[in-house]
């Protein structure tokens, strides 16, 4: 085993990462989930990891987050990453404002400063009127807003997101993507965003890393040439958008066992 967490001056650096689990069907055997994965994410860079279901995207994210230990390889991050999951990412016993304040309290930020920062984030995420609501009293889209706001409140330079908008309806998803980009553009965070949606990857990313089915490997890296801020409608009319979409589908199509990307 190689030591997992070491600081890099910025962003994320993964080198020759392998992950194997004990095989549930054959005792004594292991199953390789991630095979020799290497990637870098620079400060201010937004990288989407795109791949079919079960290819190991979440496993990769959990390892980078320090929530799981890899079998082999190294992971370095410039700071302790903040993580947004698809669901269950907020504390149900805390209000929206208290959830967002949580990382600030952990950091020991004084109360007055904390209140200002929380109010600012509530405003940015359109949650001002819901500050004192508990997660059970607000919609799924609003809960994800709280989860994203909490991750953004964390001052660290690395943000990891595991299909954070996957469970939302299309309209809410598109609006949260736009809000995330707007806020992220004002920070210098390195973002690793897991998705199985081609459109989502093209809307958000500076670079897309495409993974194969199990064992998950990075089979292609595609730079997304669109500037920022991005206008979703203009983007979809751009012939280059169509070309990259076809290329990504082609890559995903080589792996028919995966669930279809959208």
Ligand X SMILES: Nc1ncnc2c1ncn2[C@@H]1O[C@H](COP(=O)(O)OP(=O)(O)OP(=O)(O)O)[C@@H](O)[C@H]1O
Q: Which residues bind ligand X (CB under 6 A)?
A: 21, 33, 51, 53-59, 196, 214
Cα–Cα dist 188/77, whole Å = 14
| DSSP state for residue 87 in the 8-state scheme | S
Closer to ligand X at the Cβ: 142 or 211?
211
Rounded to the nearest whole angstrom, what is the least distance from the CB of residue 4 to ligand X in the complex? 16
First-to-final CA distance of the chain:
37
CB-count burial class (<10 Å; 0-12, 13-18, 19+) for 79: middle
Asked if 91 and 85 count as a contact pair (C-beta separation under 8 A), the reply is no
Nearer to ligand X, 57 or 207 (CB): 57
For ligand X, the closer CB: 157 or 216: 216
Q: Which is nearer to ligand X, 145 or 196 (CB)?
A: 196
Query: What six digits make up the tokens of 192?
Result: 């690793």
Beta carbons of 183 and 106 less than 8 angstroms apart: no
189 vs 196, beta carbon nearer ligand X: 196
Structure tokens given for 19: 């992950």
Residue 39 to residues 19, 155, 181, 225: CA-CA distances in angstroms?
A: 15, 23, 22, 19
Is 147 or 212 the residue whose CB approaches ligand X more closely? Answer: 212
Q: How many CA atoms lie within 13 A of 202 on its CB side?
A: 24
Maximum alpha-carbon separation in the chain? 57
How many whole angstroms separate alpha carbon 6 and alpha carbon 12?
Answer: 10
Choose between 29 and 228: whose C-beta lies nearer to ligand X.
Answer: 29
The DSSP annotation for 227-238 comes to -SS--HHHHHH-
């Amino acid at each position: 085993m190689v030591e997992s967490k070491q600081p890099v001056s910025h962003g994320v650096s993964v080198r020759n990462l392998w992950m194997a689990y004990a095989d549930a069907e054959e005792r004594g055997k292991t199953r390789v989930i991630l095979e020799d994965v290497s990637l870098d994410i620079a400060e201010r860079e937004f990288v989407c990891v795109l791949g079919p279901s079960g290819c190991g995207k979440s496993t990769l994210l959990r390892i980078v987050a320090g929530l799981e230990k890899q079998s082999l390889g190294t992971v370095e991050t410039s700071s302790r990453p903040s993580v947004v999951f698809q669901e269950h990412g907020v504390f149900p016993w805390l209000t929206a404002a208290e959830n967002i304040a949580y990382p600030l309290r952990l950091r020991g930020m004084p109360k007055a400063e904390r209140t200002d920062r929380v109010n600012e984030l509530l405003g940015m995420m359109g949650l001002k009127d819901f500050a004192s609501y508990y997660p059970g009293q607000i919609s799924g889209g609003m809960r994800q807003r709280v989860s994203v706001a909490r991750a953004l409140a964390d001052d660290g330079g690395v943000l990891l997101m595991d299909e954070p908008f996957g469970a939302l309806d299309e309209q809410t998803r598109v609006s949260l993507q736009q809000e995330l980009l707007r806020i992220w553009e004002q920070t210098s965070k390195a973002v690793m965003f897991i998705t199985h949606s081609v459109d989502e990857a093209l809307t958000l990313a500076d670079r897309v890393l495409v993974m194969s089915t199990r064992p998950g490997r990075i089979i292609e890296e595609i730079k997304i040439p669109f500037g920022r801020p991005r206008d979703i409608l203009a983007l979809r009319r751009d012939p280059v958008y169509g070309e990259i979409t076809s290329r990504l589908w082609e890559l995903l199509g080589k792996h028919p066992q995966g669930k279809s990307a959208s």
